[in-house]
Structure 1
């Protein structure tokens, strides 16, 4: 906010509460705006753009994803679209590793036992609360880590996993993207891995000890993790989703956990969030660790995201290079 308030040529209209902006308030106040900063919870559609009027020049979202923005409608009006990649990469990678550890080591079950005052009902046992170890051991010297999507966040997650002794990295990515064999060889050499290899999604599922879902949302990746894919995974494998809830079929994942197709899951995003009640099929599964979409929720990262969103808006309105602009060529 200081960055915006420091521009006297800008008149600010600010939602006054520390919660998601009320849709009605936004529609009532956007008319005549030159730019708008929105969150993931704000639907940018023709209705909103029509309310803004012809003065609108830029939509700046404080997020790396922009599925909440009708990019065709934005492009059709000749508007600029800003977003906040890069600044949240490390925070999301950190949380992805945390979820893998929590799911593998039955962290959700353990925390629940303590918080419900049930610890006395679970005296120590040789294999009590045991789960698959993320790091390699002398008796188990191979660890294969898989990724669906292998962009900035996936590669940052890979870097964090190296000290655990992982040996192989497998990933699947958009079929339209060109292979990056040279980059993969460089990553393998840099991290002393036996291989970094692009394979088909079925092989990623079959071979991975931990499978990280870190691909963009949208129609092309809707329910890419479904019953068919989950049945291919190892019974000791872990699934982590820190991208978008729509990539994972919640009912299929709940079934996989309930019937033991996989060991556990760590989930930051759920399809239909925040409408996730105690009756949700994933909430009912003890081996599913769920946090409420907090992958970027560090003080440092949220400040950086807000700064980037403000910089994008200022540059678009007052002239200058937007730090992060979505390429809208091909839309509209």
Structure 2
């Protein structure tokens, strides 16, 4: 009888979604919705499906010698020790394509909420302060303003599309400048980072986190922004220096901010929590039912690619032969 691969799922998945996987592998998953003991679950597994709350580290890899690949139901992979996986010859795959549109939606929602003071206005009404004598809560127009996107990857490009619907002028900064043809197609223009910060009414941060982007936006960069500007971060905590941001907001050096991610999340800098001009959401850019389904199916596709020996489309640590293919 031919060997059938074993896939360990760190959370329960509706049976209707598992039909494709069961055709090609035996499935192990927890008996309840409680977070499982990953070592016990994955010890005999060839492949694993995990979520951001699951820590894949050297200890887990040591205990799971059969493991060949880990597929995470997320775009980010901070919860996985990729270097250790590479050393153990374990491939790591994520689901970046599924989150693009919904994350761009969230970024624009944060921009509108912060610029138009939506959360403050909601609290104002709920507190019974809305009456004929009440002063209006003036915010900032978003339409016909300039958006500066730091990191024009797939999510950044979706942001640019949405900005055009608001008749915004869109500038961007990337490590690699796009071709003139791509810039014309997207309706964007390139600026160096300092100029983008100085000229933009809305600064949208959408870069991966790493040593090169740690505190990419700190006190010196915030000082370059307009006093009327809004900063939005839907990338990763740590890209923005939250302490410096809180001070800039408190002193009115920028007008407002919208953050879906924070340093050390789920912890939030205490000074940010005190400020009315920052909108905070709990890293929920991809938190829609439709997007979560797409993420799960994309993670399944990653597993099936591995089982069938196909090139891994979303591999963050490809083997040398995959890199050269």
| CA shift for structure 1 position 183 | 1.0
Q: Secondary structure at the match of 1:60?
A: strand
Alpha-carbon distance between aligned partners in 2 of 1:253 and 1:329, rounded to the nearest angstrom: 40
Flag structure 2 segments of 5+ consecutive residues without an equivalent.
1-12
Of the structure 1 ranges 220-229 and 79-88, higher mean CA displacement relative to structure 2 is found in 79-88
The one of 265, 280, 283 aligned to 2:273? 283
Match for residue 174 of structure 2? Answer: 173
| 1:36 alignment partner in structure 2 | 48
Please state how far the C-alpha of 1:329 moved relative to its aligned partner.
5.1
1:4/1:10 contact within 8 Å kept: no
Q: Secondary structure at the match of 1:203?
A: helix
Which consecutive unaligned segments of at least 5 residues does structure 1 have?
A: 137-142, 189-195
Residue of 132, 139, 146 corresponding to 1:131: 139
Give the structure-2-normalised TM-score: 0.87
> 1: distance between equivalents of 2:41 and 2:62?
12
Bigger relative contact order (CA 8 A; separation at least 6): 1
| Among 84, 109, 112, the residue aligned to 1:73 | 84
The CA distance in 2 between the partners of 1:122 and 1:219, in whole Å, is 52
Matches within 5 A, 1:115-130: 115=126, 117-120=127-130, 123-125=133-135, 128-130=136-138
The aligned residue for residue 140 of structure 1 is: none
Counterpart residue number, 1:310: 300
TM-score (norm 1): 0.86
Is this contact kept in 2: 1:67–1:218, CA < 8 A?
no
Distance apart, 1:85 and its partner CA: 1.4
Query: 1:319 maps to what in 2?
Result: 309
Taking the aligned partners of 2:317 and 2:40, their CA distance within structure 1 comes to: 29
Partner Cα distance (2:30, 2:232) in 1: 34
Asked whether 1:300 is paired with 2:290, we answer yes
Deviation at 1:258, TM superposition (A): 0.5
Conservation of the 8 A alpha-carbon contact between 2:48 and 2:70? yes
In the TM superposition, what is the alpha-carbon distance from 1:263 to its structure 2 partner? 0.8
Match of 1:11 in 2: 26
Distance 1:91 1:179, change over 3 A: closer
Distance change (3 Å), C-alpha of 1:101 and 1:152: same
The whole-number CA distance in structure 2 between the counterparts of 1:133 and 1:106 is 11
Q: CA deviation at 1:113?
A: 2.3
| Distance across 2 between alignment mates of 1:92 and 1:107 | 19
Q: Report the 3-state secondary structure (helix = DSSP H, G, I; strand = E; otherwise coil) of the residue aligned with 2:92.
A: strand
Contact preservation (8 Å) 2:92, 2:316: yes
**Is the aligned partner of 1:144 residue 2:146?**
yes
Q: Check the 8 A contact 2:151/2:207 in 1, yes or no.
A: yes
Q: By how many angstroms is 1:291 displaced?
A: 0.8
Q: Could you tell me which residue of structure 2 aligns to residue 226 of structure 1?
A: 218
Contact 2:150 2:204 in 1 (8 A): yes
Answer whether contact 2:82 2:317 (CA < 8 A) is retained.
no
Cα distance in 2 for residues equivalent to 1:118 and 1:249: 35
CA distance in 1, matches of 2:212, 2:121: 37
Q: Deviations over 1:170-201 (max 9, x none)?
A: 21222xx354333112222xxxxxxx222221
1:193: which partner in 2?
A: none
1:95-139 Cα distance to aligned partner (Å, 9 max, x none)? 111100000011121122233x232478433xx211110013xxx
What SS does the corresponding residue of 1:87 show, helix, strand or coil? helix
Once the two structures are superposed, residues 61-96 of structure 1 have per-residue CA deviations (whole angstroms, 9 ceiling, x without a partner) of 111122222222112222222111121111011111
Give the equivalent residue in structure 1 for 2:253.
Answer: 261
**Equivalent residue pairs, number:** 306
Q: Measure the CA separation in 2 of the matches of 1:17 and 1:238.
A: 43
Task: Tell me the SS of whatever aligns to 2:171.
Answer: strand
What is the root-mean-square deviation of aligned Cα atoms in Å?
2.1
- Is the 8 Å Cα contact of residues 35 and 57 (structure 1) preserved in structure 2? yes
CA shift digits 1:227-260 (9 cap, x unpaired): 1100110011110111111111111111111100
